[in-house]
Amino acid sequence: MKRTKLILLLTVLALVAAACGDDEPAATTATTKPPVATTTATTTAPTTVAPLIGEGKKLGMAFDVGGRGDKSFNDLAAASFDKAISEYGVEGKELAPTAGGENREENLRLLSEAGMEFIIANGFAFSQNVGRVAQEFPDTYFAITDSCAQGEDFATLDLPNVSCMLFAEEQGSFLVGAAAALKSESGTVGFIGGVEVPLIKKFQAGFEAGVAHIDPDAKVLVTYLTQVPDFSGFSTPSLGNEAAQAMLDDGADVIYHASGGSGTGMFQAIKDRSVADATKYWGIGVDSDQYNTVGADLQEYVLTSMLKRVDVAVDAQVLSWINGSFKSGPVEYDLAAEGVGYSKTGGFVDDIADQLDGLAKDIISGTIKVPTEPAA
């Protein structure tokens, strides 16, 4: 009997030992088996980032008087220049001229010598400078804003490495001229040009035509801040302020400027007179949507702006160069191409927007022919 009990006890102990032996290998297997996620991560090929479309290319920007920060056409070009660097991956170098612009050609040459493969000359005053430098550096591409004119010595238009960005400023100016006439209560409006040159005359011509289309009896006061070779009319707010004050004294209640950075002085004069007279006077901006560039205290005096999409043109030129489809000669950006237009920011022209949009359609269709030179 005792022997039988001993045998049973030994059998039970053996079974327990066997059970414990089975548990130990199972535990070891669980701790050494890699998690699924870890196995997947270690066997996946590393992610590669595709190069940006402009990587390895070099872009130069030669600003005109006023440079970056002019709240006008230079800033529009700067926006596309910055986009090319951040989104396309190009290497960029920019230069701005002296206050009088005497070193425009030197800046173009410096950018060329620095190895910039494509250079934007942002301003009509670069015309002959581009002609000379482009011939010295035939393997460098150039694009110039607002000019394709032939200089005394060089025919910029005929150079295979120069493209010209031209705009139908008169068309956009027609629309803001119509807006000025529709909003004017005095029947007198004003136009301030920065420098009296053919380009700015296009702004004047379109504005006067737009005013006359709405009110043939309206009076348009015209002032130019400086004459060639003095280009400070594009970068001296005090001159814009003085000109606007004189026009307000003469009865103007809406004033349009095509004077670059000098326009901030015009808006300040309009605000000051509005406050002093407890009457609302209006300013019309140019190139960029100036409701967004003036200070918050001036926004309520910005009726609209004539939009000149230098940013769109520069971006298109940069992409054509990157893609290898650069074309020399003139490229025009008009109403049909959305190269010019007018702004609705602020809501001050909402009540006349349908009329202005109708005029735009008539210009695009050819029903309305907008002059490029002022009437005699």
226 in a structural domain: yes
What is the phi-psi region of residue 274: left when phi exceeds 0, alpha when psi lies from -120 to 50, beta otherwise? alpha
123 in a structural domain: yes
Domain of 196 in residue numbering reads as 169-308+346-365
Which of 120, 152, 167 represents a domain boundary (last residue)? 167
Average pLDDT over residues 301-323: 96
52 in a structural domain: no
- Verify that 183 and 123 share a domain, yes or no: no
53 in a structural domain: no
- Verify that 358 and 210 share a domain, yes or no: yes
353 in a structural domain: yes
Structure tokens at 223: 């002032």
Average pLDDT over residues 280-295: 96
Which of 123, 142, 167 represents a domain boundary (last residue)? 167
Cα–Cα distance for residue pair 349/302, rounded to 1 Å? 10
Q: What is the CATH number of the domain that holds 267?
A: 3.40.50.2300
Number of structural domains the chain divides into? 2
- Verify that 249 and 360 share a domain, yes or no: yes
- Verify that 155 and 196 share a domain, yes or no: no
CB-CB neighbours of 63 under 10 Å: 25
- Verify that 181 and 139 share a domain, yes or no: no
pLDDT of 156 reads: 54
Question: Which parts of 168-297 are beta strand (E)?
Answer: 188-195, 219-226, 254-258, 282-287
The model's confidence at residue 281, banded by pLDDT at 50, 70 and 90, is very high
- Verify that 239 and 351 share a domain, yes or no: yes
- Closest by alpha carbon to 129, among 99, 166, 111, 260? 111
Per the model's pLDDT, the better-predicted residue between 287 and 26 turns out to be: 287
- Verify that 226 and 360 share a domain, yes or no: yes
The DSSP annotation for 134-167 comes to: HHH-TTSEEEEES-----SS--GGG-TTEEEEEE
Cβ-proximal residues to 188 (8 Å cutoff; 6+ apart), any chain: 218, 219, 220, 221, 250, 251, 252, 253
36 in a structural domain: no
- Verify that 163 and 184 share a domain, yes or no: no
The model's confidence at residue 49, banded by pLDDT at 50, 70 and 90, is low
Q: What is the pLDDT of residues 150-175, one digit of tens each?
A: 555 444 557 899 999 999 999 999 99
- Verify that 158 and 185 share a domain, yes or no: no
Q: What is the largest CA-CA distance in the chain?
A: 140
Q: What is the pLDDT of residues 218-252, one digit of tens each?
A: 999 999 999 999 999 999 999 999 999 999 999 99
The model's confidence at residue 71, banded by pLDDT at 50, 70 and 90, is confident
Which of 150, 167, 184 represents a domain boundary (last residue)? 167
- Verify that 206 and 289 share a domain, yes or no: yes
Average pLDDT over residues 33-40: 38
17 in a structural domain: no
- Verify that 134 and 258 share a domain, yes or no: no
- Verify that 159 and 175 share a domain, yes or no: no
What pTM value is reported for the model?
0.79
Cα–Cα distance for residue pair 141/267, rounded to 1 Å? 38
66 in a structural domain: yes
Residues in the chain: 376
Res. 149: pLDDT tops 80: no
- Do residues 256 and 176 touch, judged by C-beta distance below 8 A? yes
Average pLDDT over residues 129-141: 95
